[in-house]
Amino acid sequence: MEKPILVVTAGGRNPQILINALAERFSDVSVLEEQPESKKLFLKRRAKKLGYITAAGQFATMAASKFGKRFTEKRAEEIVRQYGVNDAPNDTIPVTRIDSINSPEALSHIARLRPAAIFLVSCRMLTPATLAAITCPVINFHAGINPQYRGLMGGYWARVRNDLDNFGSTVHLVDAGVDTGGILYQQRITPARNDSMHTYPLLQTAAATGIAIRAVEDALTGRLMPQTSDAPSQQWYHPPIWTWAWNGLTRGIW
């Protein structure tokens, strides 16, 4: 009998692609879905780190990204077809809804389920206390090549820096840092000319279902082999709206 696999996410189209891919490969997949972090908390935390002006500019870019997706749906559908992935909700996959992965409720659920592996995609960072309480491997999907593009918008920043050799995704073990855990697999791809901030994450996700499955297979069979990299390590954030607009208008990188 196959051991349970638990996916932790705040939901969305891209996570659903990975959830469906894992559920197609493994027989016992369930989801722990947390509430998305409030925008107020996001602004407060980001302002503390980068200042209120930069944080407000980043928030504006996030709003533009959400609004702009409606105009790139044709390209999104092309990506889904190209990689043969499924982004439709699947009612046969059990979903338990919680406030946060870092809540006692979440830890109680994990203790009852006793998963063989936990797979994170688009969720909060685990606190050190939460991570210490989990006894199975914790794996994360990151839309960026680590360690060069840790954090957010890895595909966008790779294009801005003319570093298309490092446009892609990473599946890695989770530690206390931001995308600093041991690298399990990476998938490099080349974006199309009409890809943009609105489609980069979808492209990076759709191309990476294979490495997500391989990482979970390794966890189930005790063959995880995390690797380190001596490449320059940097954490990135959303570009402020003025940076995004400038790169779009002057370089065609949106």
Residue found under tokens 């949106």? 254
Domain boundaries, the chain: 5-251
pLDDT of amino acid 39 = 80
Per-residue model confidence as pLDDT tens digits over 16-53: 999 999 999 999 999 999 999 888 888 889 999 999 99
Q: What radius of gyration do the chain's Cα atoms show?
A: 18
CB 22 within 8 A of CB 119: yes
pLDDT of amino acid 110 = 98
- Alpha-carbon distance 160 to 24, whole Å? 36
- Alpha-carbon distance 245 to 254, whole Å? 7
**Predicted confidence pLDDT, tens digits, the chain (254 residues):** 789 999 999 999 999 999 999 999 999 999 999 999 888 888 889 999 999 999 999 999 999 999 999 999 999 999 999 999 999 999 999 999 999 999 999 999 999 999 999 999 999 999 999 999 999 999 999 999 999 999 999 999 999 999 999 999 999 999 999 999 999 999 999 999 999 999 999 999 999 999 999 999 999 999 999 999 999 999 999 999 999 999 999 999 99
Count, residues in the chain: 254
pLDDT of amino acid 37 = 84
pTM as predicted: 0.96
pLDDT of amino acid 205 = 98
pLDDT of amino acid 38 = 83
Q: Going by CATH, does the domain composed of 5-251 fall within 3.40.50.170?
A: yes
